[in-house]
Amino acid sequence: MKKVLAIGGSSSRNSINKRFATWAANELAGAEIQEVDLNDFELPLYSIDKETENGIPQEAHDFKSLIKESDGVVLSLAEHNGSFSAAFKNITDWVSRIEKGTWADTPMLLLATSPGGRGGQGVLESAKSIMPHQGAKVAGAFSLPSFGSNFDDSGIVDAGLKSSFEEQLKAFEQAL
Ligand SMILES: Cc1cc2nc3c(=O)[nH]c(=O)nc-3n(C[C@H](O)[C@H](O)[C@H](O)COP(=O)(O)O)c2cc1C
């Protein structure tokens, strides 16, 4: 059975992106899903001086091990001022110092959602160009606008959006 990580790129306790990533990963047939909460990897704000003085914290190694042990990653990004949340950027900065290729050649389904009408499209677009340089094999990408009205406990409500999502999920499934 394929092991897939579901990661919300946010440290909000009630992150809509964590919820969306977990739901999306569970739409895969016959995969073992592990939900990853960034709050379990609390790290100091990266600086070269902290790294030189104290080395790379264990939490960054633990996060890297999770990636290496997985067959795929479903990552849903929160958009903060058009970019990654500070919590997500910080963890990737630390992990990038362990070795080249943060995402260890792992297939990735890139998602983003927000309460607003753009659905985190800004961060999704930059992630699509950045992630391949960080060792992710981006196999699909999808942004869900207006999370509050387009998503409920059964998943994506709008038929058109659901069908676009399913196309991207299928591409990811084939890459696993
Ligand atoms: C500091 C900050 C900046 C934000 N910037 C954006 C933004 O640029 N675009 C956007 O669509 N939403 C923005 N938002 C709203 C987030 O999309 C919203 O908080 C969303 O719930 C974040 O996802 P999460 O619940 O997974 O943390 C911002 C929120 C915060 C707290």
Domains of the chain: 2-175 (3.40.50.360)
Query: Average pLDDT for residues 52-68, to the nearest whole number?
Result: 98
Q: Does the pTM of the predicted model rise above 0.75?
A: yes
pLDDT digits (tens, 9 = 90+) for 82-135: 999 999 999 999 999 999 999 999 999 999 999 999 999 999 999 999 999 999
**Cα-trace Rg, the chain:** 16
Closest CA to 114 of 20, 6, 11: 20
Give me the pLDDT at residue 142, please.
98
Q: What is the mean pLDDT of the chain?
A: 97
At 67, the pLDDT band (50, 70, 90 cuts) reads: very high
Pocket test for ligand 1, best of 19, 35, 114, 147 (most atoms within 8 A of CB): 114
> What is the sign, positive or negative, of the torsion defined by CA atoms of 165, 166, 167, 168?
positive
User: What amino acid is encoded at 10 in this protein?
Assistant: S
Give me the pLDDT at residue 94, please.
98
Q: Measuring CA to CA, how many Å separate 114 from each of 15, 34, 37, 91?
A: 10, 22, 18, 21
Percent of the chain scored above 90 by pLDDT?
99
What is the residue with the minimal CA distance to atom 2 of ligand 1? 80
